[in-house]
Structure 1
Amino acid sequence: MIGNEKIKIIKKILVGALTPSLIYIFGSTVKGKGRKESDIDIAILNDREVDEYELFILSQKLADILKKEVDLIDLNKASTVFKIQIIKTGKLIYNSNNLKKMYFQMRTMKDYAILNEERQEVIDKIKSRGARI
């Protein structure tokens, strides 16, 4: 589990460097299954586009301060399945705009429902051949 002090540091650095609407932590540290060598998984929904290099630099800065590896994910570029997993299992640690949060969550759930409809035919064909999914 990640402590409140580390959460404060994460928020301070990311809010200071970016313009996030949402910051989630997710993965083993949230589930309480993190080990000493586990990294910290962080996802951000930012108001402006963030390039990969900027994310890398910020993750390294956080890693240096927190003394743990940090994976920093841009939710604007994440897959629908990854987004839904973060919404369902992650912990929201920063929310600057409740309307943007609701829109992001509703849009992600809608996209996920459409994805499930689109792939249902494929799943049904696989099951009809006797394979288990």
Structure 2
Amino acid sequence: MDVLVLIGRILFVLLFTVSAVGHLTKTKAMAGYTASRGVPMATAATLLSGFVMLVGAISVGVGLWADIGALALAAFCFSAAVLMHGFWGEKEPQARQMEQVNFFKDTALGGAALILFAFFAFAGHELGLMVTGPLLSIS
């Protein structure tokens, strides 16, 4: 089971790792899109979101306080869904559909991150292939 959990963790964080690298290396372009969505301080928000994704992905991927990393990824996902993919404000049908898909993708990933948080906080001390156990505990 430990190997399956490790494989799942790695597969889960790949998206966040690639996205974080994009946020941190293509900040100007990403911040332009962020600003176009009405997010204030777009450059700072882009850098912060890249940092949160990278730290969360590393935490979950290597198992270093993975519960906290999962919460960070959930916070990012839910924030991105609301701030970046407000499909309810789109007038053009194709743009509305695209934003709706991205909104629900981010919401689903946030839900998965919450499940991981609960899993790590409940069973983290008993999982192998982790650097540390959870910082928080659910009994």
TM-score interval for Structure 1 and Structure 2 normalised by the shorter chain: 0.3 to 0.5
Q: Choose between structure 1 and 2 for higher RCO, CA contacts under 8 A separated by at least 6 residues.
A: 1
In terms of fraction of residues, the more helix-rich structure is 2
Q: Computing the radius of gyration over CA atoms, which structure comes out larger, 1 or 2?
A: 1
What TM-score results when the alignment is normalised by the length of structure 1? 0.35
Larger strand share, 1 or 2 = 1
